[in-house]
């Protein structure tokens, strides 16, 4: 029986086919003879308690100029699919949350959703690391300017980041003597109305912001160290960083061992754990990337590992 796989993603015409991890997943599924169906977030809807979508048959290929083709769309119940990959990029906003409600109804009807909708809601990519304090550096989440300034006085050099978003957007490094500290805090907290995360600055970032991909609780044996671009404090690839692969080290294996049981319990099949030095800084669950970079550097097929894990659950 052919497996029917749906994907919810950002417009496929706008992706970078050379680097896109979702496209790598879809290519592996198609190579296995699975039927692919394409959806965007606005295509999902709920009627009389059942989850539906306007979905288009999808074909993908290796061309960097013409990497997909879409067939004629139809409106179908999501329960007619065996598995749905939820790969919509942040921001994690109310529309994203509403989409998870629809996908949860499809899950209740028997469709495997990767990652599980409830877990996507529960595991905020910044907040989630706080569930593993033994793995993290000093961290504060608050909207109170006074507490943020006290945290800065204690640690002298900190990172401020919003709780939603991706790619290093709106992340600030702030030192004790920064003359802009007040306006930065006002902006980040929306004048005390919005929670913001502060973390102790980790100078080990000069050796990379390290992405570990975890599939069904098992880390891929190679890590992508995202290195700082000149003049940057953010190593995100979207912020100009570049990736250098290396084998996973013992500390990183230990960190994964602490986190993996919770990932499996929550149904978080495909996760990207970010590590600087000895510490986890984020746990990415919405649309983790870096498959292409590791595949290319080490002749891997990470998507095959994911599809094997999915197939074992069907």
301 noted as active-site residue: no
Catalytic residue among 28, 82, 274, 293: 274
200 noted as active-site residue: no
Cβ–Cβ < 8 Å for 36, 8: no
Catalytic residue among 211, 216, 252, 293: 211
Number of other CB atoms surrounding residue 261 within 10 Å: 10
Catalytic residue among 20, 200, 284, 292: 284
Catalytic residue among 116, 161, 266, 292: 161
Catalytic residue among 82, 282, 293, 295: 282
Catalytic residue among 234, 236, 252, 292: 234
93 noted as active-site residue: no
Contacts of 159 (CB under 8 A, 6+ apart): 171, 172, 173, 174, 198, 199, 200, 201, 233
282 noted as active-site residue: yes
Let me know the angle formed at the C-alpha of 9 by 89 and 214, rounded to the nearest 5 degrees.
65
234 noted as active-site residue: yes
Cβ–Cβ < 8 Å for 188, 160: yes
Catalytic residue among 126, 200, 266, 292: 126
The whole-angstrom separation of Cα 162 and Cα 172 is: 10
Cite the DSSP H helix spans in the chain: 21-31, 94-108, 117-122, 145-155, 181-189, 250-266, 291-298, 302-313
Number of other CB atoms surrounding residue 32 within 10 Å: 14
The DSSP letter of residue 44 is E
Cβ–Cβ < 8 Å for 225, 248: no
Helix (H, G, I), strand (E, B) or coil at 57: strand
**Token duo for residue 98:** 């509403």
Helix (H, G, I), strand (E, B) or coil at 116: coil
126 noted as active-site residue: yes
Omega before 223 cis (within 30°)?
A: no
Catalytic residues: 126, 161, 211, 226, 234, 274, 282, 284
């Amino acid at each position: 029986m052919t497996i029917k796989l749906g994907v919810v993603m950002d417009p496929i015409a706008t992706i970078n086919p050379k680097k896109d991890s979702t496209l790598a997943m879809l290519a592996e599924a198609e190579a296995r003879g699975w039927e692919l169906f394409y959806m965007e977030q606005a295509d999902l809807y709920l009627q009389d308690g059942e989850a539906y979508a306007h979905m288009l048959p999808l074909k993908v290929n290796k061309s960097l100029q013409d990497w997909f083709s879409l067939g004629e769309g139809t409106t179908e119940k999501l329960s007619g699919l065996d598995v749905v990959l939820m790969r919509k990029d942040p921001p994690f906003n109310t529309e994203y949350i509403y989409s998870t409600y629809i996908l949860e109804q499809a899950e209740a009807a028997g469709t495997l959703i990767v990652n599980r909708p409830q877990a996507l809601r529960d595991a905020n990519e910044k907040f989630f690391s706080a569930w593993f304090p033994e793995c993290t550096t000093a961290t504060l989440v608050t909207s109170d300017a006074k507490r943020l300034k006290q945290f800065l006085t204690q640690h002298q050099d900190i990172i401020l980041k919003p709780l939603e978003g991706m790619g290093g957007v709106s992340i600030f490094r702030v030192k004790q003597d920064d003359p802009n500290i007040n306006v930065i805090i006002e902006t980040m907290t929306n004048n005390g109305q919005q929670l913001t995360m502060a973390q102790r600055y980790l100078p080990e970032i000069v050796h990379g912001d390290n992405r570990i991909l975890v599939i069904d609780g098992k880390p891929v044996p190679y890590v992508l160290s995202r290195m700082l671009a000149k003049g940057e404090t953010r190593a995100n690839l979207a912020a100009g960083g570049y990736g250098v692969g290396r084998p996973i080290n013992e500390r990183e294996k230990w960190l994964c061992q602490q986190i993996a049981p919770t990932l499996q319990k929550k149904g978080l099949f495909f996760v990207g754990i970010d590590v600087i030095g000895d510490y986890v800084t984020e746990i990415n669950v919405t649309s983790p990337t870096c498959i292409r970079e590791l595949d290319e550097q080490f002749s891997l097929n990470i998507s095959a590992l994911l599809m094997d894990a999915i197939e074992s659950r069907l």
